[in-house]
Amino acid sequence: MLRPLRNFWQRVSEGIAIQQLWAQLSADARASYRFYAGEMNRGLPEKAYARKSFPHIVRGLFWAMALKLSPARRAVLVIALVLLFVPSLHFGWRGGEIDLEGFHFWGGAALLLLLALELADRVTMKRDLEIAREIQSWLMPSAAPTVPGVDMAFATRPANTVAGDYYDAFFRPSGRLLVAVADVAGKSIPAALLTATLQASLRTLAAMPGSLVELVSQVNRYACEQSLHGQRFTTAFLAELEPATGALTYVNAGHNWPVLRRAAGSVERLEAGGLPLGINGALPYQSGSTTLAPGDLLLIFTDGLVDAEDAAAHDYGEERLLPVVDSIGTAAAAEALKRVMASVDAFVGATRQHDDITCLLLRMQ
């Protein structure tokens, strides 16, 4: 008897320890609460939310959940709840009395039916998203290009199945190495679609002659045509590297300032550029320049890295990132990036990731 039970539990839990299952459930519950709380706050009258009236909040939570269902499934939910909370009926009819019981069973059965319908939708959508994720992975390099004198590595972790982050590294016709890290506003499918258009436009325009500033301006004009009047803007950091000399020209379009750690230990931030892409098509961009020497390390990242939260909703922040970068020393790019990601993992623990994380690390040899 015990062995079948153990096998059943092994299949249900996939061998994960109770503590880890509880940590996952707690993280899921916190994420779901934040989601429904946001929906509920939009549906509640301002005065009712200010009073924190319990009946109003319960009603708001119910509608925040119910309105996510189709009308037919919404009706099933209401019927199931009625059957669960009204376990029996007692009434008189034609001089007699009639007792109807066992509503709990039918209420549970209706909820199980609703769960089965929602699960089928979820599985279908997940299969489509997995295909979208596979296509998205084709658009970004799986391995860093081989560049004499340059050691490079990158890592990306989507918050959902598909991401709104983009990274790339390839040679332009001039022989200079172009590196790019971008973050489309939003997450999941809408952001992923705009990421694909950004990749296509950047690759196409980078194949034409012109300076980095001209390239960014052209990509910006294209992004403005796809940004729904600035609602879907993109932060980006693009740089051109001359591997033989270490000369680096860059444009920071509203992106997190990359960290440049010199071999001697000093730290610089690369800020020059302008507004994010997709806001103003006539906006001029400025470029910055520096020279990378052997041993210098450049870390480019999206805001999902520094905005990663622990269970108490504290940000990882640059105050934790910079000491990690400083402690990397002479480690290879892949090992250095692994330490950065491990530091974030240790900080957030089992907390669900709420934003895409992408890093590109480059070290001069």
Task: Using the predicted structure, report yes or no on whether residue 49 has a pLDDT greater than 50.
Answer: no
Tell me the domains of the chain and their CATH numbers: 2-90+99-133 (no CATH), 141-364 (3.60.40.10)
Weakest-pLDDT range from 223-227, 256-260, 332-336? 223-227
Those residues whose C-beta lies under 8 Å from the C-beta of residue 84, and which sit 6 or more positions away, are 103, 104, 107, 108, 111
CB 60 within 8 A of CB 43: yes
Taking only the tens place, the pLDDT of each residue in 307-330 is: 998 888 899 999 999 999 999 888
Weakest-pLDDT range from 35-39, 83-87, 130-134, 343-347? 35-39
Q: What is the pLDDT of residue 355?
A: 87
What's the CA gap between 62 and 126, in Å, rounded?
26
Average pLDDT, stretch 240-251?
A: 94
Taking only the tens place, the pLDDT of each residue in 160-199 is: 777 788 899 999 998 999 999 999 887 777 777 788 888 8
- Residue 1: pLDDT band (50, 70, 90) is low
Weakest-pLDDT range from 108-112, 186-190, 232-236, 254-258? 186-190
pTM over 0.85? The answer is no
Average pLDDT, stretch 7-23?
A: 74
Those residues whose C-beta lies under 8 Å from the C-beta of residue 238, and which sit 6 or more positions away, are 178, 179, 180, 202, 212, 215, 216, 250, 251, 253
CB 356 within 8 A of CB 192: no
**What are the angstrom distances between the C-alpha of 224 and each of 165, 239, 249, 279?**
18, 21, 24, 6
Average pLDDT, stretch 11-31?
A: 74
Give 274's DSSP letter: E
343 vs 228, higher pLDDT: 343
What's the CA gap between 54 and 21, in Å, rounded?
31
Those residues whose C-beta lies under 8 Å from the C-beta of residue 332, and which sit 6 or more positions away, are 151, 153, 363
Give 276's DSSP letter: P
Average pLDDT, the chain: 83
Task: Using the predicted structure, report yes or no on whether residue 48 has a pLDDT greater than 50.
Answer: no
CB 328 within 8 A of CB 289: no
